[in-house]
Amino acid sequence: MEPGTNWTPLDIAVIGGGVGGTAASIALRRAGNKVTVYERADFAGEVGASISCAANGMKWLHEWQVNIEKGDGVYLKQLINRDWKTGEPVSVVDLSDYEEKWGQPYYM
């Protein structure tokens, strides 16, 4: 995006550092704005929380030059959906050819 002659960078506050807030802040900074992200949680005690990022999301992360390895993500090779009461598998999706098929890996 090329700013016009009357363009002035904005000083923008983004509330929340989750997926949406992070994506918005990256896009706004890339457009030349000053962005401050405000996040209430410290994430120090997070256990079991994850973000699933399929091919379309990975495309944006690569384009935005996000260091995926730094996040220590898990490369998904299979998705198993389980019954919430019994824990028994309800469905299994093989992802072994996912990157070849979609052009990006599937991370969680």
Question: What is the residue-averaged pLDDT of the chain?
Answer: 87
Residue 2 has pLDDT above 80, yes or no: no
Q: What pLDDT is stored for residue 17 in this prediction?
A: 86
Banded model confidence at residue 65, pLDDT cuts 50, 70, 90? confident
Helix residue ranges, H only, 9-108:
19-30, 55-63, 98-102
Q: How many residues does the chain have?
A: 108
**Higher local confidence (pLDDT), 48 or 91:** 91
- Residue of 61, 52, 69 whose CA lies nearest to 107: 52
User: Could you report the per-residue pLDDT of 22-64, keeping only the tens digit for each?
Assistant: 889 999 999 999 999 999 887 666 656 677 788 888 888 888 8
Strands 11-15 and 34-38: parallel
Which CA distances in Å does 23 have to 74, 85, 95, 96?
20, 34, 26, 28
Token output for 81 = 């959906």
Residue 74 has pLDDT above 80, yes or no: yes
First to last CA, the chain: 31
Burial of 55 (0-12, 13-18, 19+ CB in 10 A): middle
